[in-house]
Chains A and B, each alone.
Chain A
Amino acid sequence: MDPIIKTEKLCFSYDGASFAISDISLEIYRGEAVSIIGPNGSGKTTLVKHFNGLLKPTSGRVFVNGMDTRKTTTAELARTIGYVFQNPNHQIFSNTVLDEVVFGPKNVGFKDAEKLAIASLESVNLGDKVDASPFSLSLGEKERLAIASLLAMQPDILILDEPTTGQDYSTCLAIMNLASNLKRLGKTMILITHDMDVAAEWTDRVFVLSEGFLLRQGKPSEVFSDFDFLQSIHLSPPQMLKVGRLLGFESVYMSVDELAGRLKSEISQLYKSGIVFS
């Protein structure tokens, strides 16, 4: 299968002196959910800004859906790839929520922009806010509005830049549920996050960046089991992994459900073997 995003020896420098990212070669496939993790300033945002052409490589190449990003404008790439920025306040400008969401699909030439906008607002549970002023929304709602405004452009790939940072648990859960729905629809999802638990539970593959270099890539269960490596770049492993290890389990548990399942079966076995808990 051809990768939907491919970078070859990608390097980028903002000032011409030091490299923000160096020698990154990676492949992301259609329908995957991947997370990009790393300490602050490790080049995560710089990397994904190459995927939709906001930044062009200093050297090396980036292909999106087979298109070389150096030869394609960001507006053209916007049909394929949607990038939700960190702060929704950086994009909100319309009088109503609906207008805000219509903006994107209209720009890339969809005739039924309004229909698409309403559908995507419903998918983020903002269907009843269509006529509200976007500035009056809560932060969580603004975040979902930002996601809807890019969803409405029907991109194959969606980049979410720290969507769960600063959100309460229920908003966080709502955003991640939405993201996994997209995955079910066959969309590719790229998640930048500081939350190892989110990366472990919701994504298929993890890319670890540090100081501009791609240090590791692989399944969350592989990458996150290497505690020494995570420690060396000042990342803390997902909590469920830590608990599982403390309990002495061999297999790796990535989510609360998985770990709880194992604990349940352990306990019922103990019951069967006649141990009574006091």
Chain B
Amino acid sequence: MVLCTTIMVLSLVFNSPVFLVGLFLVVTSLLFVARVHREFFKRVKALASTVVMAFILWSLFYRWSLFNPSDSTEVILTIGPITLYRLGLIYAVSMPFRVLVMIGAPLLFFMTTTLSELVLAFARVGIPYRVAFTLGLSGKLVPLLENEFKTIKQAQTARGLELDKGGLVKRVRNYIPVLIPLTFRSLELSDQMSIAMETKGFAMKDERTFYKDIEMKRIDYLVVAFSLLALGLGISLRFFGVGIIA
């Protein structure tokens, strides 16, 4: 997790294409090592148009960008009304890579770590188990409620409800017959869950033991140390103006 956050922060720290491409390569190779690259490429494919769009927008409209950090107006090419700035082009190359790194890094984390491992890790580093469990639970609840939402939508459609009919206000109102049962169902579910948790001794005072346990191995410490080092190095490099264009 530390590694993933470091990569994400670093991708925001630098804006030179060389550095961002480097980070991208690191993330991709890690994804390959973890054998989850297929998932990543699937998402990249879905986002391809966004990435291309980012490239075009940055190269064309660089001049009017809100984030424009400098007043460099070095022009490479002018075709009629279109002017390509040197800096614009560089940004256009780095931005898509920044987006890709931002997608790849969390994916690397979530595809290699199960929710229960995450909860366990939180508990290990001293976060109270109740808090850690709640964090993990919220991650599990989302797909569960999504399923409920689908079923309820179908049940109401079978009663002649047309969700996509009418103007904006009408459409919002259409969702009332779906949202009310959903609210009650989630209350019902959490009620059942609390009973299940209590029967399994969730609120016991004794010290908790775990069926599966994780331990920080040497390699884990190394990765954390390396990540922190890279983070520190990256930030200080930025102060000295390395890895920054213009």
Residues of A within 8 A of B (CB): 49, 52, 54, 73-75, 78-79, 82-83, 85, 87, 89-93, 103-104, 107-108, 135, 149-150, 153
Q: Which of B114-122, B147-155, B193-201 contacts A (4 or more CB under 8 A)?
A: B147-155
List B178-221 residues whose CB lies under 8 Å from chain A.
Answer: 180-181, 184-185, 188
**Contact in complex: B181, A91 (CB < 8 Å):** yes
Per the 8 Å Cβ criterion, residues 114-165 of B in contact with A are 148, 151-152, 154-162
Q: Chain B residues near A78 (CB, 8 Å)?
A: 157-160
Cα distance, A49 to B154, chains bound together (Å): 9
Main secondary structure of the interface of B (DSSP, over half): helix
Per the bound structure, the CA–CA distance linking A78 and B161 in Å amounts to 9
In the complex, are the beta carbons of A108 and B181 less than 8 A apart? Answer: no
Contact: B176 with A93, CB < 8 Å? Answer: yes
Closest 5 A/B residue pairs (Cβ): A107-B160, A93-B180, A78-B160, A83-B158, A104-B159
**Contacts from B to A (Cβ < 8 Å):** 148, 151-152, 154-162, 176-177, 180-181, 184-185, 188
Inter-chain pairs besides A54-B158, A74-B157, 11 sampled, C-beta below 8 Å: A54-B157, A75-B160, A75-B162, A85-B158, A90-B185, A91-B152, A91-B156, A92-B184, A93-B180, A150-B159, A153-B159
Cross-chain contact B155 with A85 (CB below 8 angstroms): yes
What are 9 pairs between A and B in contact, CB < 8 Å?
A52-B158, A74-B158, A78-B160, A93-B177, A93-B181, A103-B161, A103-B177, A104-B160, A107-B161
Determine the distance from Cα of A85 to Cα of B156 in the docked complex, in whole angstroms.
10
Shortest Cβ distance from B164 into chain A, in angstroms?
10
B159 adjacent to A103 (CB under 8 Å): yes
**Is B180 a contact of A107 with CB atoms below 8 Å?**
no
Chain B residues, Cβ within 8 Å of A74: 157-158
Q: Is the CB of B159 within 8 A of A90?
A: no
Q: Does A89 lie within 8 Å of B180, measured CB to CB?
A: no
Q: Is A90 in contact with B158, judged by CB distance below 8 angstroms? A: no
Q: How distant is the Cα of A75 from the Cα of B158 in the complex, in angstroms?
A: 7
Q: A135 vs B180: C-alpha distance in the bound complex, in angstroms? A: 11
**Measured between C-beta atoms, what is the minimum distance from A219 to chain B in Å?**
29
Task: Report the minimal beta-carbon distance from A203 to chain B, rounded to whole angstroms.
Answer: 21
Q: Tell me the complex Cα distance, A92–B184, Å.
A: 9
Residues A149 and B159 in contact, CB atoms below 8 Å apart: yes
B185–A54 CB distance below 8 A: no
Residues from chain A with a CB closer than 8 A to the CB of B161 are: 75, 103, 107
B163 to chain A, nearest CB (A): 9
Q: A49-B154, A103-B177 are in contact. Are A89 and B188 (CB under 8 A)?
A: yes
Bound Cα distance A83, B77 (Å)? 65
For the complex, what is the distance from the CA of A74 to the CA of B160, rounded to whole Å? 7
A92 to B180: give the CA distance in the assembly, Å: 8
| Most central of A52, A74, A78, A90 by chain B CB within 10 Å | A90
Q: Min CB distance, A137 to chain B, in Å?
A: 13
Q: Which residue of A lies closest to B179 (CB)?
A: A93
Residues of B within 8 A of A103 (CB): 159, 161, 177
Give Cα A103 to B155, complex, Å: 12
Known A49-B154, A54-B154, A85-B154; contact A92-B159, beta-carbon cutoff 8 A:
no
Given A103-B177, A135-B184, answer yes or no on A90-B155 (Cβ-Cβ < 8 Å). Answer: yes
